């Protein structure tokens, strides 16, 4: 990180900051109630923005906007992933069960071979 070799003097600091000037915020009149408001913001008096009720302050505000929400894609994707994982787990369990049955069959076959040799 760059570090200055010497401290900046008060005069140089003042010259650098001389162009920092506060600006007056842009204001407009609300088309709904006529009160002065900041540009591109919701009216603090009536709660309207661009002709629509967007704040609780406005009498036309409707909270029931949950109907327009898009269905959660993540949960659907997660359920698909969960189904795939369950299918893979079921396949693995089936393969292990087949391997266990084959191992039992081999043990039984070996026991029969041993019994036949002893019988001879």
What does the alpha-carbon distance between residue 29 and residue 37 come to, in Å, rounded to a whole number? 6
Q: What is the pLDDT of residue 70?
A: 66
Q: What is the pLDDT of residues 22-33, one digit of tens each?
A: 999 999 999 989
**How much is the CA Rg of the chain, to the nearest whole Å?**
39
User: Residue 82 — pLDDT band, cuts 50, 70, 90?
Assistant: confident
What does the alpha-carbon distance between residue 25 and residue 29 come to, in Å, rounded to a whole number? 13
Q: For 13-52, give the DSSP string.
A: HHHHHTT----PPPEEE-TTT--EEETTS--TTT-EETTE
Q: Is 30 exposed, middle or buried (0-12, 13-18, 19+ CB in 10 A)?
A: middle
- Higher-confidence residue of 109 and 50: namely 50
Q: What is the pLDDT of residue 84?
A: 84
| Average pLDDT of the residues in 49-53 | 89
Q: What is the pLDDT of residue 102?
A: 86
Residue 39 has pLDDT above 90, yes or no: yes
| Average pLDDT of the residues in 71-100 | 81
What does the alpha-carbon distance between residue 95 and residue 89 come to, in Å, rounded to a whole number? 10
Residue 74 has pLDDT above 90, yes or no: no
Q: For 1-120, where are the E strands, in sequence order?
A: 27-29, 36-38, 48-49, 52-53
Average pLDDT value over all residues in the chain? 84
Q: Is 54 exposed, middle or buried (0-12, 13-18, 19+ CB in 10 A)?
A: middle
Q: What is the pLDDT of residues 58-68, one digit of tens each?
A: 888 887 555 56
Length of the chain: 120
- What percent of the chain lies above the pLDDT cut of 90? 29
**Is residue 32 a contact partner of residue 24, using CB atoms and an 8 Å limit?**
no
């Amino acid at each position: 990180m760059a570090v200055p070799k010497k401290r900046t003097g008060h005069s140089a600091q003042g010259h650098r900051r001389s162009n920092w000037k506060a600006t007056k915020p842009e204001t407009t009149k609300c088309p709904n109630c006529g009160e002065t408001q900041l540009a591109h913001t919701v009216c603090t008096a009536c709660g309207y923005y661009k002709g629509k009720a967007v704040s609780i302050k406005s009498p036309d505000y409707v909270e029931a906007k949950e109907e327009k929400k898009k269905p959660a894609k993540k949960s659907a994707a997660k359920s698909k992933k969960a189904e795939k994982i369950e299918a893979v787990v079921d396949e693995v369990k089936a393969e292990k069960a087949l391997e266990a049955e084959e191992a039992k069959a081999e043990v039984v076959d070996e026991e029969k071979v041993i019994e036949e040799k002893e019988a001879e």
